[in-house]
Structure 1
Amino acid sequence: MTEIHLQVTASDDRLDRYLAQQLTQLSRSRLQQLIEQGCVQINDSVCTAKKTEVKTGDRIRIEIPAVQPLELKPEAIPLDILYEDDSLLIINKPAGLVVHPAPGHADGTLVNALLAHCPNLPGIGGVQRPGIVHRLDKDTTGAIAIAKTDLAQQHLQAQLKAKTARREYLGIIYGAPRSPNGTVDLPIGRHPTDRKKMAIVPVEKGGRAAITLWQVKERLGNYTLVHFQLETGRTHQIRVHSAHIGHPIVGDPIYGSGRSVGVNLSGQALHAWRLTLQHPVTGEAIEVTAAPPAEFNTLLEVLRRRIVASR
């Protein structure tokens, strides 16, 4: 890790702009990323808001994590393919599969599997994340789209930004919401003290707009099967929003309650159930539904049986 120390001599500019002017060897987007990750301190306090105004006399410390070069190798990992053509691939991701390599997960990822399945993928959308348009958490299962060409990559990213692509999830939550449906419209950002977590963070402190629509599909006593739809795609969005309204996802090791439900779960009971998008070449509407994993269905059946037994 490299540390950079700066003393502000004359400035009333926002933090990211000031750093970009002082540290020309780093791109502004990289500096914004470091700010969001909690790697920048002003006067010994972590600052995760890129728009923070720096003042004359401020002491700034930037911690730049050591770059770990990743050599991407094709790996013959089985893929549950839901749709595929020359431009697009959609798979049903299992729990435990990391989407792209990162420190601690240099191999055995979805990207490694994709390189074996699609030999022409390298270089599409970036060296470390070839073809990846959106992501799912390690232990979230379900439908994820991969671009097989640069055109498809750009087109799919534009759909996600314009909110014309629809991502629907099924989740089992603790508790029984009073309303049959609702919307959580709260910004999400890096947790102010725990870099591994996300949290509800005001926009003025670095949070980014996040909107989750939810609807009750089945009430299961003190548990509920919920249909979620994302308007935005922030890291851990559904998990953070669900926990914030008092109904964390069952089995969530970070934001959940830690209570046992009597079923062995690989992770949180959250599944990317349906993905609807426009084909990047033909313009055709494509709707793909991913079957929930066996343990998700087992949990549902256990909860249903408990309801019957309690009557």
Structure 2
Amino acid sequence: MEQHQFKIEDSAHHLQRIDKILPIFNSEWSRSQIQDWIKEGLVAVNGKPVKSNYKLKLDDQVVVTEKEVIEADIQPENLNLDIYYEDEDVAIVYKPKGMVVHPSAGHYSGTLVNGLMYQIKDLSGINGEIRPGIVHRIDKDTSGLLMIAKNDVAHRALVEQLMAKTVTRKYTALVHGHIPHEFGTIDAPIGRNKNDRQSMAVEDDGKPAVTHFNVLENFKNHTLVSCQLETGRTHQIRVHMKYIGYPLVGDPKYGPKKTPDIGGQALHAGVIGFEHPRTGEYIERTAPLPESFEAVIEQARREEI
């Protein structure tokens, strides 16, 4: 275990919750991780353990005893993943809503990686043992297609295409509000939210982010849109649509307080397309909306949400 010591000297941190502020001191710490350490008595202020809701004061001396992370043994699991395309180099796989892409603290089983290890034997190793084959990600509560690399040469080629912005990534989203125009482009940099380290926001010093969208259908209080990513920032569509005043339905992090509880944001990664790393052939696959998403759209159409 390693100890870290901090002194609260910034007035902006005065009377702020300790579990909210500590991740600012170390970007590798998450709020949930800090809360777990607090429960185990590994966080002390002025020599005494505190609770997660402790409000820091100027000149407080904070000591965090960082618990050693033990690498988990990731096991293959038969999760009956839908594979839309596969050859010796790449695959296109469907991730259901509610499934985490790769193992992390608290999620060592039931992830897409566990399923990939069972159904696809050869996977690239560039991202390490915990993320084999993973070239890009989508959020836990977003359904849809991901491209998977089966060797390191293919992995590098796909990453290069992502960086060159040549990969086709189209999403369907249901948003709050009636968008009055047929299409638009959101060009606004995204970075870590300075007021909430657990979320992203449009920030002047953020990384460039561009989302194109067009309206598929208007309802009285909602709009169904298609979004195409030019960049791939964390939570990009969710942040951008909120930024222009049309947050995603069901989004617990970026949606309005009165958004319906539908188990997460109404967002589906329906189309993925890329140039094959070996043959140069353009490969594109489309996954239909899940029935649960279709049901939410129908509710919006009937003005029931």
Scaled to the shorter chain, the TM-score interval is 0.7 to 0.9
C-alpha contact 2:187 2:211 (8 A) present in aligned 1 = yes
C-alpha contact 1:34 1:64 (8 A) present in aligned 2 = no
Is 1:103–2:91 an aligned residue pair?
Answer: no
Q: Distance in 1 between matches of 2:235 and 2:253?
A: 10
Is 1:198–2:197 an aligned residue pair?
Answer: no
C-alpha contact 1:173 1:224 (8 A) present in aligned 2 = yes
Matches within 5 A, 1:69-108: 69-108=71-110
Matches within 5 A, 1:6-155: 35=27, 66-121=68-123, 123-155=125-157
Q: Distance in 1 between matches of 2:182 and 2:28?
A: 35
Q: Distance in 2 between matches of 1:219 and 1:243?
A: 17
C-alpha contact 1:215 1:228 (8 A) present in aligned 2 = yes
Matches within 5 A, 1:253-268: 253-261=252-260, 265-268=262-265
Query: What is the one-letter code of the residue matched to 1:278?
Result: E
C-alpha contact 2:82 2:94 (8 A) present in aligned 1 = yes
Q: Distance in 2 between matches of 1:70 and 1:115?
A: 15
C-alpha contact 2:143 2:269 (8 A) present in aligned 1 = yes
C-alpha contact 2:209 2:232 (8 A) present in aligned 1 = yes
Relative to 1, partners in 2 of residues 1:65 and 1:119: Cα closer, same or farther, differing over 3 Å? same
C-alpha contact 1:125 1:150 (8 A) present in aligned 2 = no
Query: What is the one-letter code of the residue matched to 2:164?
Result: A
Relative to 1, partners in 2 of residues 1:62 and 1:260: Cα closer, same or farther, differing over 3 Å? closer
* Matching residue of 2:46: none
Relative to 1, partners in 2 of residues 1:275 and 1:35: Cα closer, same or farther, differing over 3 Å? same
1:182 to 156, 181, 184: 184
Relative to 1, partners in 2 of residues 1:65 and 1:183: Cα closer, same or farther, differing over 3 Å? farther
Q: Distance in 1 between matches of 2:109 and 2:212?
A: 34
Displacement after TM superposition at 1:178 (Å) = 2.4
C-alpha contact 1:38 1:192 (8 A) present in aligned 2 = no
Query: What is the one-letter code of the residue matched to 1:215?
Result: N
C-alpha contact 1:100 1:111 (8 A) present in aligned 2 = yes
Relative to 1, partners in 2 of residues 1:36 and 1:213: Cα closer, same or farther, differing over 3 Å? farther
* Matching residue of 2:50: none
C-alpha contact 1:36 1:190 (8 A) present in aligned 2 = no
CA displacement 1:36-95 (0-9 Å, x = unmatched): 8789xxxxxxxxxxxxxxxxxxxxx99977434121111111101111111111112111
Percent identity of the aligned residues? 46
Q: Distance in 1 between matches of 2:65 and 2:236?
A: 26
TM-score, length of structure 1 as denominator length? 0.76
Corresponding residue SS for 1:159: helix
Displacement after TM superposition at 1:299 (Å) = 1.5
Corresponding residue SS for 1:301: helix
Is 1:246–2:239 an aligned residue pair?
Answer: no
C-alpha contact 2:124 2:151 (8 A) present in aligned 1 = no
CA RMSD of superposed structures (Å): 2.6
Q: How many residues align?
A: 256
Displacement after TM superposition at 1:244 (Å) = 1.3
Q: Distance in 2 between matches of 1:180 and 1:37?
A: 41
Query: What is the one-letter code of the residue matched to 1:286?
Result: I
Displacement after TM superposition at 1:132 (Å) = 0.3
Displacement after TM superposition at 1:34 (Å) = 5.1
Displacement after TM superposition at 1:199 (Å) = 1.4
* Matching residue of 1:48: none
Relative to 1, partners in 2 of residues 1:245 and 1:115: Cα closer, same or farther, differing over 3 Å? same
* Matching residue of 2:226: 227
* Matching residue of 1:279: 276
C-alpha contact 1:72 1:107 (8 A) present in aligned 2 = yes
Q: Distance in 2 between matches of 1:70 and 1:250?
A: 35
Q: Distance in 1 between matches of 2:72 and 2:300?
A: 43
Q: Distance in 1 between matches of 2:270 and 2:203?
A: 28
Corresponding residue SS for 2:225: strand
Relative to 1, partners in 2 of residues 1:306 and 1:6: Cα closer, same or farther, differing over 3 Å? closer
Unaligned stretches of 5+ in structure 1? 8-32, 40-60
C-alpha contact 2:272 2:286 (8 A) present in aligned 1 = yes
Q: Distance in 1 between matches of 2:2 and 2:181?
A: 50
Query: What is the one-letter code of the residue matched to 1:246?
Result: G
C-alpha contact 1:251 1:268 (8 A) present in aligned 2 = yes
C-alpha contact 1:252 1:258 (8 A) present in aligned 2 = no
TM-score, length of structure 2 as denominator length? 0.77
Displacement after TM superposition at 1:126 (Å) = 1.9
Corresponding residue SS for 2:302: helix
* Matching residue of 2:300: 303
Relative to 1, partners in 2 of residues 1:280 and 1:238: Cα closer, same or farther, differing over 3 Å? same
